[in-house]
């Protein structure tokens, strides 16, 4: 396993829509393992393949306190959602930035596991938010796209300033 570089907003590669996975093979399993290692190291609770410049529909998530409940979603698709909740989100591609985003409170997601079996998961709370956030990445969206143009501009300026300071 190896750590993968995480793209940073506003990198245009974050806008690419990920292609469906047509075959789950050792390459996809290795990608998922590398993504999980990268997510845990960052540290984060979710990571989409788009964020590591691999434009395939793969997501890893672990919202457990112990970091021992890794979930891998291949070709995830939200098939139902219910309710509405406003919560603060952050993102490994937008480090140090947090803002409120409105999401569905509960979701039903259909996906393939790493053995190629079709699964359906009913999720609520933080897991539901994380699933929606990561699927947004697969669709070329970052959480700041849900914010006003003014806030997006401020975030871009703040990240540009951070990049200059650390360079």
Q: Would 109 be classed as within a structural domain?
A: yes
Catalytic residue numbers? 134
Per DSSP bridges, beta strands 94-103 and 85-91 are antiparallel
Q: Which of 87, 91, 127, 89 is nearest to 108 (CA)?
A: 127
143-153 average pLDDT score: 93
Domain that holds residue 26: 12-166
* 155 in a structural domain: yes
**In total, how many domains does the chain have?**
1
Residue 167: per-residue pLDDT: 66
How confident is the model at residue 163, as a pLDDT? 79
Q: What is the CATH number of the domain that holds 147?
A: 3.90.45.10
Binned at pLDDT 50, 70 and 90, residue 133 comes out as very high
The torsion defined by the Cα of 52, 42, 10 and 46, in degrees rounded to 10, comes to 70
> Other CB atoms closer than 10 Å to residue 102's CB: what's the count?
9
Note whether residue 1 is domain-resident.
no
pTM for the model:
0.95
Residues 24-81: pLDDT tens digits? 999 999 999 999 999 999 999 999 999 999 999 999 999 999 999 999 999 999 999 9
């Amino acid at each position: 396993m190896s750590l993968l570089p995480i793209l940073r907003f506003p990198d245009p590669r974050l806008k690419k829509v990920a292609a469906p996975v047509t075959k789950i093979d050792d390459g996809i399993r290795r990608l998922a393992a590398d993504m999980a290692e990268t997510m845990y190291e960052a540290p984060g609770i979710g990571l989409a393949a788009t964020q590591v410049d691999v434009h395939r529909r793969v997501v890893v998530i672990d919202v457990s306190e112990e970091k021992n409940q890794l979930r891998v979603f291949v070709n995830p698709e939200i098939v139902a959602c219910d309710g509405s909740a406003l919560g603060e989100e952050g993102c490994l591609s937008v480090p140090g930035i947090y803002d409120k985003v409105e999401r569905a409170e509960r979701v039903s997601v259909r996906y393939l596991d790493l053995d190629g079996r079709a699964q359906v998961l009913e999720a609520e709370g933080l897991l539901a938010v994380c699933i929606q956030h990561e699927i947004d990445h697969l669709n070329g969206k970052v959480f700041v796209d849900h914010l006003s143009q003014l806030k997006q501009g401020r975030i871009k300026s703040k990240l540009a300033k951070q990049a200059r300071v650390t360079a």
